[in-house]
Chain A
């Protein structure tokens, strides 16, 4: 590829990405700004500001809660040795295989007012009413803490594993005690990991839709507010709300990104991580192991709940603490009735297609700008690939909806609303950051000398790509692809805005099953999603 052709290819690709991820946002911002009524309505209604503030404080509280659970766990599992550490250490990452929406309904079945725990407590205390209602901010935070502490746990563990033991020893040799070493050396060295996790949790919580949608009740955050406003038919106001949420997201992203700092912190480290210290006192060791297993059981309860509820035939479970009848009838119906199988098939094809396209686009990006030189368009391409991550899913869903509801080929807009294409397109955009990041990182680790070696052995550009680059990128592709596939399979946020009757995905089907009280069917779909996610992630992580 000569230089000019390469430059043209980069420019063309940048434009394509810009059209996919930036253009819809621009349209929403433009439309929102153009509608002065909606703007005025937004500014003057105190409810709007309250909802926006709710989004912010829920996200901040989620960060605090997730850190409070995840960080101590990471230290426990990385620094101490006790029976069962390895098994427990991987069990503890389990919430990952539960797609957000499935996790939410599992919580509903478990801790909701007619869930197992509430029923048990009610029976135990002989109460006439359920002891609590799982609703409002507390319920949302509970779900967030459960599903998001994993980010803190995993990133802190990774940070601790990279820590140089001699740093800690140096501090001790200089007279610093255990707490002082933690405060003055360990935590500052972990800052990039902690800030990275905080960023992940904040953005995830800000974009979180399922938990507020199911548990919010009267308590609204911006993601649910946008969808409600849209359902009310006030599309211009929904767009203003979208822009407001996007602004908060970008602001939070920029703020947290600044504290993340640079990787230079680890650049000096050459030593090995501290050895794990066995817990010596038998009592403490037993306590750690018991507490660890108890915690793992708590983590596993939502998964088990889903499985149990999926075995409950329709209408067979009323006031008992545990369901009296269990059978596979829900699964039989799922797989034998075409109408019920349909959402499964829909989700599969849409997830597969969008993942494939997201991986392909990431590969193109990698081929164009993955190497060290030349630099043209590298920044814009990377930024465009990452952009959908910095914005909540609702924002993108609404932006795509707006952009592709108008036929105007001159401005590159076509009517896709009402077609089955729009939802997979939404999945694709949402997944670009995941595949893009994985593939670009993979490309960066490739030794450029390999290309040159292949060329010197007579391999052409395409042969080099197929026989050298692609096999070496395979782990990165598998990792990025599996994460994208799981996200698309379990998606609820994008789906609820963009689905049509012809491509109803699983999450929407779960929702409508819940509406008609077909708990068993809803749980059955949840179990299927959970298993699919587990399998896909397991395959993706294999080397």
Chain B
């Protein structure tokens, strides 16, 4: 894997207690890497370090073979889409998209206009040049922001939770279109989000961050199936975390925590006994909250008609993950 973007021991100290890194990452050309983490995990800081808006206290950032650690944002050739888009309200759509072309010294008007039209076409906003940005819907604003970032043909595309302002029904579709578009352009992309579903849908690989540290960098499948830590196991996907008697009954060794996902628990004829306390119906399936004898409560995903509240059931685990207790 030849790295196109490299973070080498990058570190940013905010205060005595808050710091990001040291962090090392390698991203090959054309990959979509998602930075996933809860708020305060440092994912936006990493993105801003890449864009040059923050200067690292230590480490190196290399873009396309060039050490850009000390290069100001204006000369980094990173396209960035901001969370609230940061469209310039005093400029229309065409002027917004053309902003970077003029700034990078493309002064011939015809060239700029052609490029603007081309990029607007790419995001499906043909003919929007003279619209005011205030008139656009949230989804359209997001696409203008993307077109503006892509117009100067940057080497890397940085996206800071660009879908968080869209309503949920629009988000899923936009996500798929966004991935298709990025793949068509073939640009190396780093995408920040705190939503696991978004990360899985969009990313070739996902980097899970927690408290400024990289917990795991892997494909979505690998993250879900083989989480490197208890944090990743619980942050990525739903998970029951168990200790004690129930954990041992399901296969944990001494001094181990047991993590089992709801869909990997079966309501069976024999196994760990429990009582159904709640049932949450979701349509295709239902979540059952089962209380075992020692008082542990487990979430089980099963067919909607598998059980009723109050039923006595037996739990069987198909696949469990175990972690040493002190990591908790």
Question: Is the beta-carbon distance between A265 and B99 smaller than 8 angstroms?
Answer: no
B173 lies within 8 A of chain A by Cβ: no
Question: Is the beta-carbon distance between B75 and A166 smaller than 8 angstroms?
Answer: no
Q: Choose one: B73, B88, B158; the contact of A185 (CB below 8 Å).
A: B88
Q: Which residues of chain A in 138-191 are interfacial with respect to chain B, using CB atoms and an 8 Å cutoff?
A: 164, 166-167, 169-177, 180, 184-185, 188-189, 191
The bracket for how many chain A residues form the interface is 20 to 34
Q: Chain A contacts of B149 at CB under 8 A?
A: 173-174
The bracket for how many chain B residues form the interface is 20 to 34
- Which of B79-87, B111-119, B281-289 is found at the contact surface with chain A? B79-87
State in angstroms the CA–CA spacing of A268 and B80 once bound together.
18
B72 lies within 8 A of chain A by Cβ: yes
Q: Choose one: B52, B78, B86, B152; the contact of A167 (CB below 8 Å).
A: B86
Question: Is the beta-carbon distance between B82 and A175 smaller than 8 angstroms?
Answer: no
State in angstroms the CA–CA spacing of A176 and B80 once bound together.
13
State in angstroms the CA–CA spacing of A269 and B158 once bound together.
20
Q: Which residues of chain A in 172-227 are interfacial with respect to chain B, using CB atoms and an 8 Å cutoff?
A: 172-177, 180, 184-185, 188-189, 191
Excluding A189-B89, A268-B87, 16 further A-B contacts by CB distance (< 8 Å) are A167-B88, A169-B51, A169-B53, A171-B88, A173-B74, A173-B80, A174-B100, A174-B103, A175-B74, A175-B77, A176-B99, A176-B103, A184-B103, A189-B90, A268-B89, A268-B134
B148 lies within 8 A of chain A by Cβ: yes
Q: Chain B contacts of A174 at CB under 8 A?
A: 74, 79, 99-100, 103-104, 148-149, 152
Question: Is the beta-carbon distance between B86 and A166 smaller than 8 angstroms?
Answer: yes
Question: Is the beta-carbon distance between B86 and A170 smaller than 8 angstroms?
Answer: yes
Q: Chain A contacts of B87 at CB under 8 A?
A: 268
Q: Chain A contacts of B79 at CB under 8 A?
A: 173-174
Closest-CB distance, A274 to chain B (whole angstroms): 10
A407 lies within 8 A of chain B by Cβ: no
Closest-CB distance, B107 to chain A (whole angstroms): 13
Q: Chain A contacts of B89 at CB under 8 A?
A: 189, 264-269
State in angstroms the CA–CA spacing of A264 and B91 once bound together.
12
Question: Is the beta-carbon distance between A180 and B103 smaller than 8 angstroms?
Answer: yes
A466 lies within 8 A of chain B by Cβ: no
State in angstroms the CA–CA spacing of A267 and B135 once bound together.
11
Q: Choose one: A164, A173, A185, A265; the contact of B78 (CB below 8 Å).
A: A173
Q: Chain B contacts of A166 at CB under 8 A?
A: 82-84, 86
Q: Choose one: A176, A264, A270; the contact of B74 (CB below 8 Å).
A: A176
Q: Which residues of chain B in 136-177 are interfacial with respect to chain A, using CB atoms and an 8 Å cutoff?
A: 148-149, 152, 158
Q: Chain B contacts of A191 at CB under 8 A?
A: 90
State in angstroms the CA–CA spacing of A265 and B134 once bound together.
9
B133 lies within 8 A of chain A by Cβ: yes
Question: Is the beta-carbon distance between A188 and B90 smaller than 8 angstroms?
Answer: yes
Nearest 10 A-B pairs (CB), nearest first? Answer: A174-B100, A166-B86, A172-B73, A175-B103, A173-B80, A176-B103, A170-B86, A270-B84, A175-B104, A188-B90
A278 lies within 8 A of chain B by Cβ: no
Closest-CB distance, B85 to chain A (whole angstroms): 8
A-B contact pairs, 17 of them (CB 8 A): A166-B82, A169-B80, A170-B82, A170-B86, A171-B99, A172-B53, A173-B73, A173-B79, A174-B99, A174-B100, A174-B148, A174-B149, A175-B103, A175-B104, A264-B89, A265-B90, A271-B84
Q: Chain B contacts of A172 at CB under 8 A?
A: 52-53, 72-74
Q: Chain B contacts of A268 at CB under 8 A?
A: 84-85, 87, 89, 133-134
Question: Is the beta-carbon distance between A175 and B53 smaller than 8 angstroms?
Answer: no
**A255-287, CB under 8 A of B: which get 1 and which 0?**
000000000111111110000000000000000
Q: Choose one: B52, B99, B152, B158; the contact of A184 (CB below 8 Å).
A: B99
Interface core residue of B90, B133, B149 (most chain A CB under 10 Å): B90
